[in-house]
Amino acid sequence: MPNIRLPRWLRGQAGRETLAALALLAPYLIIFIVWQIYPIFYGLWLSLTNLDLLSPGETQFVGLDNYARIFSDEFVGISLLNTLYFTAGSVLVGTVLALVLALAMNTTSVGGRWLKWVCFVPYIVTTSASAIIWQRIYAGRYGILNQVLNGVGLPNIAWLENTHTAMPAVIVVAIWNELGYRALILLAGIQNISMEVQESAMLDGAGRWARLRYITLPLLRPILFFVLTMAIIGSFQVFSLVLVMTSQWGDVYGGNPLYRTLTIVMYVYAQAFKLLDMGYGAALSWMLFAIIMIVTLIQMKAVGGQE
């Protein structure tokens, strides 16, 4: 039997534990590498080619042509601006509302427990179902919202067909979907804050608002950073909600009305899977990855670094 000498870090008790950990992680790691890491780098390769799914044998290396095309494509600008609009609305407004809700839920009363249940229900409704429900709510003359408006003497609003109200209407649905989930995470953070700190502040005469501003929010910063980061990443990738709510028959890019709700992922999807320009779709995806990475790094510096 050959004498195999293991590397130092795999020897001894610590080494055996490391081997055991690797063995247990191996199944997930294999799946992760095959189904996530490999496609990411294959996508990078695709972005440097002109792959058309209908003629894959004629694929040629085109270098950075797909990336250069991004700068002259008006729909990239349109979809990115729409995505930023959606992100700003759903993340900022949604997180503030989630914080308010978390503070309201921070009680042992029956009302607090009931609030947790009610607010979490939208999170477990699938995105497509949410979109269809809200389409009915926003519908024209016979939609629920317009019926309420008519009932108080106000005129109808074409929520999803008016260029000024379409994206805000979608943002409301996104906030409604995520509110409970974010609030629960923030609630967990709030409940982790030591009661002694709060009590000391109360003894020193700090009011509710002062305690919130000088104790709760600073100590909640890591959790807030997590919630904001995850929300931003998710918002940049918004797709199915907008697609179901605003698409019409015959669309190629979607984003009705008049591309006001066209997001970057919808545009990537149209390029790659409708127009079959896989290379350009892959380049757009990598552009999106770079943008999300930059935004996250800026966030880490501005928010996370102040710890």
Partner 1 sequence: MDRKRLSRRDFLRIGALTAAGVALGGCAQPTPETEVVEVEVTRIVEGTPVVEIEEVEVPVEVTREVPAAPEETVIEFWNGIGPPEGVLMQDLMNRFEDSQTEVKIEQWTTEWEAFYTKIRTTYAEGVGPDLAVTHPRYQARYGGTVFQPIDDLVDADPEIDSSMFSGSAWEACFYEGKQYALPIDIHMFALYCNVGLFEAAGLDLPKTENELVEAAKALTEAPDQWGLFTRYSGGGLFWEWLGYLAHRGQKGVLSEDGTKAAFNNDAGIGALQRMYDNIYTDKTGWGPVEGLDSYQAFMSQTCAMRNGGTWEKFAWDTIQDLRYTSIMFMPEEPGTWGSSHLFVFPQMGTDEATQGAWDAAKFILKNFSVEWGVRGGHVPALLEAAEDPEYTGLKEMQGFRDSVPYIVYLPRVPQHEEVSEAIIGNLNAAMGGEKGIEEALNDAASKVNDILGA
Smallest distance from the beta carbon of 161 to partner 1, in angstroms? 4
Q: Could you say whether residue 1 binds partner 1 (CB under 8 A)?
A: no
| CB count in 10 Å sphere of residue 243 | 20
Smallest distance from the beta carbon of 102 to partner 1, in angstroms? 37
CA angle 146–148–149, rounded 5-degree value: 60
Q: Rank residues 6 and 20 by Cβ distance to partner 1 and give the closer one.
A: 20
Query: What is the C-alpha separation between 263 and 79, in angstroms, rounded?
Result: 5
Query: What is the C-alpha separation between 293 and 283, in angstroms, rounded?
Result: 15
Smallest distance from the beta carbon of 101 to partner 1, in angstroms? 32
Q: Identify the residue among 44, 93, 230, 276 touching partner 1 (CB under 8 A).
A: 276
Name the residue with tokens 């100590």: 219
Q: Rank residues 151 and 305 by Cβ distance to partner 1 and give the closer one.
A: 151
Nearest residue to 228 via CA among 81, 85, 92, 86: 92
Q: Rank residues 235 and 256 by Cβ distance to partner 1 and give the closer one.
A: 256
Residue pair 283/41 in contact (Cβ under 8 Å)? The answer is no
Q: Rank residues 94 and 143 by Cβ distance to partner 1 and give the closer one.
A: 143
Q: Rank residues 257 and 304 by Cβ distance to partner 1 and give the closer one.
A: 257
Query: Binding string to partner 1 for residues 86 to 125, with x set by CB under 8 A, is what?
Result: ----------------------------------------
Q: Identify the residue among 116, 133, 221, 251 touching partner 1 (CB under 8 A).
A: 251
Q: Which residues contact 183 (CB under 8 A, 6 or more apart)?
A: 98, 99, 101, 102, 105, 119
Using CB under 8 A, which residues numbered 14 to 33 contact partner 1?
16, 20, 23
Query: Binding string to partner 1 for residues 129 to 168, with x set by CB under 8 A, is what?
Result: ----------xxxxx--x--------xxxx--xxx-----
Q: Could you say whether residue 249 binds partner 1 (CB under 8 A)?
A: yes
3-class DSSP state for residue 3? coil
CA dihedral 215, 217, 219, 222 (to 10 degrees): -170
Nearest residue to 60 via CA among 278, 271, 267: 278
The residues that touch partner 1, with contacts defined as CB under 8 A, are 16, 20, 23, 53-56, 139-143, 146, 155-158, 161-163, 248-253, 256-259, 273-276
